[in-house]
A and B are shown apart, each in its own frame.
Chain A
């Protein structure tokens, strides 16, 4: 294992990762005085224009928030994701995809428990006169958001009907809107684990307690958003994928939380209550509507000394949201497809959380790619998100859009598409005729096989493979050297 990989596996906290990023030139501190609005948003958007190389930006001089710190863009570039995975800057997206896909099922989870009294997250404790604004230097993420949102909060909860089951404990990223000093709303949908738990609590009258973790181990931020099965623990999954132990402790309300998070907010849902939430500039690049969402009352807050509030810019892409979850949206679909179809060679679902996906497959017979596409629609993520699917042959790299366009140009017939009307759909897709319901599109851009009489008799085969990839990197490195 090289030094980069060793250091990545030694990360236990946001602070560790920020130090690693800073050493690699991938984190900067913004100490010039800024206003919460619009400065933090403007700087975050400017940074996210560089999807390959944007740094994390730590603000430590925000007007009206003396002594408080906020960070954006921690997962805001492929270089930052590469460093998290122990790979050097400049690693290609395709290489990162196979790094993650190769880790799938490769390692055992390592969970260790830290006594509450020794957990850094509990260094400071607030149980009375709670005012979240006094702890979190929040700002309006997009100008027409309905309030101040926490866009990168990992929410941990236990199944209200099976509270002792570690696997059914859910950790997910949900948007939270502050609703006064000690309350917030949480937005989810019935198909998400949190939505299931909220509905179960309200159906049975059982309490639903949650712990909201902010400023977390950067591996959890990535993997908590990964669509895995309901009974799989996100903590175990994150540990296995990072190949390193995850340090947990208990929150004051009895939920397993990361021991090294910056801030943890403990709260309880107000059964049956709803208040207005939104709009919020969401990942499709448009605002959600205003809806009535469940409200949670804060019961306590724990935080490290001098905590760092981590947030995200999300809106019209590219944004940190795309680099944060893109590969980890793609990898599970790949792994799940390969259980049935080992012919699948790669999945690119980077675009708007998989609203468009590109799948490469070794075609076994005419039309086979369409069969694989239909299977993709029944994966956990595919059920709601995979709206447009482009199927390409294994000789096309789905991460290289020039190659994908070549396949569309030369291998697609207008009647080689399937439209599946009135399917389930993620409600915030702005193109949906009815929120929550929409059409699916499958474009078969694979070449023709028998019994189809038409095909590419004389295909040019330019040199490909590891040698050519290495030459490409060498050319880029030589260019970079000339620029400096």
Chain B
């Protein structure tokens, strides 16, 4: 399990989905949280991906995922 921490729900273990390369150099990396499904690029401004900088209004509580409604229920 990776050490990468999700900026949205603070879970560890994020997957690495893609790396933007130029002439063999990694320019940025896209990560995805396997707990809350947040995807981010490590080159983004802190307002989007900075722990403690992001608005708390957009945090996801990894311990309480049941609170999020399921769409298109029969």
Contacts and interface: CB of A to CB of B under 8 A. Distances in A.
B32 A179 contact: yes
Nearest to A178: B39
A76 interface: no
B1 interface: no
Contacts, number: 103
Contact of A181 (B8, B17, B27): B17
Interface stretch (A102-110, A197-205, A375-383, A454-462): A197-205
A73 interface: no
**Category for how many chain A residues contact B:** 35 or more
Given A38-B45, A146-B38, A147-B37, A188 B72 contact: yes
Nearest to A65: B20
Interface stretch (A82-90, A290-298, A309-317, A341-349): A290-298
Interface in B32-55: 32, 36-41, 43-45, 47-48, 54-55
A415 to B, nearest CB: 39
B71 interface: yes
Interface string A172-188: 00000111110000011
Interface stretch (A210-218, A221-229, A272-280, A441-449): A272-280
A148 B38 CA distance: 9
Secondary structure call for the B interface: mixed
B18 A134 contact: yes
A230 to B, nearest CB: 16
B22 interface: yes
Contact of A203 (B17, B37, B60, B74): B74
Given A143-B45, A181-B18, A291 B71 contact: yes
A187 to B, nearest CB: 7
Nearest to B28: A64
Given A37-B41, A292-B70, A143 B18 contact: no
A146 B68 contact: no
A98 interface: no
B10 to A, nearest CB: 15
Given A64-B20, A291-B71, 8 more contacts: A35-B43, A148-B30, A179-B32, A188-B71, A189-B71, A202-B74, A203-B74, A275-B37
Interface of B: 8, 15, 17-18, 20-22, 27-28, 30, 32, 36-41, 43-45, 47-48, 54-55, 57-58, 60, 65, 68-72, 74
Q: What are the 7 tightest A-B residue pairs by CB atom distance, in nearest-first order?
A: A64-B20, A133-B18, A147-B39, A64-B27, A276-B37, A292-B70, A144-B58
Interface of A: 35-38, 63-66, 131, 133-134, 140, 143-144, 146-148, 177-181, 187-190, 195, 198-199, 202-203, 274-277, 279, 287, 289-294
30 contacts: A37-B41, A37-B48, A38-B44, A64-B22, A64-B27, A65-B20, A66-B22, A131-B17, A131-B18, A133-B17, A133-B30, A146-B8, A146-B38, A147-B38, A147-B40, A148-B30, A179-B32, A181-B17, A189-B71, A190-B72, A195-B72, A199-B72, A274-B71, A276-B36, A289-B68, A289-B69, A290-B68, A292-B68, A292-B70, A293-B71
